[in-house]
Amino acid sequence: MISSARARNASLRQMKQAALKGESVPSGLEQGPLDQRSKELRKQCVRCLLGGSRGHLGSTFSLIEILRILYDDVLKYDPANPSWEERDRFILSKGHGCIALYVLLAEKGFFPDAELDKFCHPDGILGGHPDHVKVPGIEASTGSLGHGLSIGIGRALAGRTRGADWRVFVTLGDGECNEGSIWEGALAAGNHGLENLTVIVDNNKRQSYGSTDEVLDLEPFADKWRAFGFGVHEVDGHDTNALRDAFARLPYEKDRPSALICHTVKGKGIPEAEGNNKWHHLRAIDEAKAQSMIDAIEAY
């Protein structure tokens, strides 16, 4: 069992190294094309960027399929009543990827679509990081990395205490997992056996200025979550069928929290952006640049 986990980690490490060097990834992981819905969601993100003159695009594009499947197929929510008691609690702990979440929340009707054009405007509700006071559907204000898991643990404990059947989902970045508070939270979640809690890692292997293995390596990552008491599953985070299946199989182990490690590509959907640190956060783009980004997405 341990040796097969080691072998899997070694092969994932190999794929990661290849991807970071720009070489083709051997197993087909993370390399697939995008369907029209995924392209349209990315185009809406470009729209936000054009209106708002800034934004974390690379961090947003690795998240699209994860959020799409959660909001299309997994989460319980009511846009007409965002604080519905029976809702599942979704927390985007890597709050800088919020454009992806705003696009899904607007599409589902939590707030008017026109707000997307006012991203980061003083007269809009959508800031560069999510604000649960201003934005319907945002469960917790995030942006200072490392806090969302602990917030989610509090919600999961509250749900269990009340005997509720709603669930808690927390999305982390891999760079965010360099924060000590994540592992303090993981220790508590495992210790309390929070079966109603799922951690989703958008594991794009990059952070602001470099690759996570150069900055502070997390491997063997899946084994770390297991050691902290989680049931673990790994998936190609851009493969919508695999994601749907991975969410349908929750919880991965009885009486344990679950961790779904999604192997993703930062900037997925625009070849020039993929794994390119310059696209972590973009400043103002003009109409021509926005159009070239849309063309690249459409041709993907």
CB of 163 to ligand TPP, least distance (A): 34
Residue 174 vs 195, nearer CB to ligand TPP: 174
Looking at beta carbons only, is 33 or 180 nearer to ligand TPP?
A: 180
Q: Residue 287's CB: how many other CB atoms inside 10 A?
A: 8
Q: Which is nearer to ligand TPP, 62 or 258 (CB)?
A: 62
Give the nearest distance from C-beta 127 to ligand TPP in angstroms: 13
Smaller CB separation from ligand TPP, 56 or 167: 56
Q: Give min distance, CB of 41 to ligand TPP, in A.
A: 16
Compute the distance between CA of residue 296 and CA of residue 280 in angstroms, rounded to an integer: 17
Q: Are 229 and 259 in contact (CB under 8 A)?
A: no
Q: Which is nearer to ligand TPP, 238 or 266 (CB)?
A: 266
Cα 102 from Cα 48, distance rounded (Å): 9
Cis peptide before 220 (omega within 30 of 0): yes
In the complex with ligand TPP, the residue whose CB is nearer, 75 or 92, is 92
The least distance separating ligand TPP from the CB of residue 13, rounded to whole angstroms, comes to: 17
State how far the Cα of 158 lies from the Cα of 268, in Å rounded to an integer. 36
What distance in Å separates the CA atoms of residue 270 and residue 266, rounded to the nearest whole number? Answer: 10
Q: Which lies closer to ligand TPP via its Cβ, residue 238 or residue 280?
A: 280
The residue ranges that bind ligand TPP (CB under 6 A) are 59, 62, 94, 96-97, 143-146, 173-176, 202, 204, 206-208, 266, 280
Which residue's CB atom is positioned nearest to ligand TPP? 173
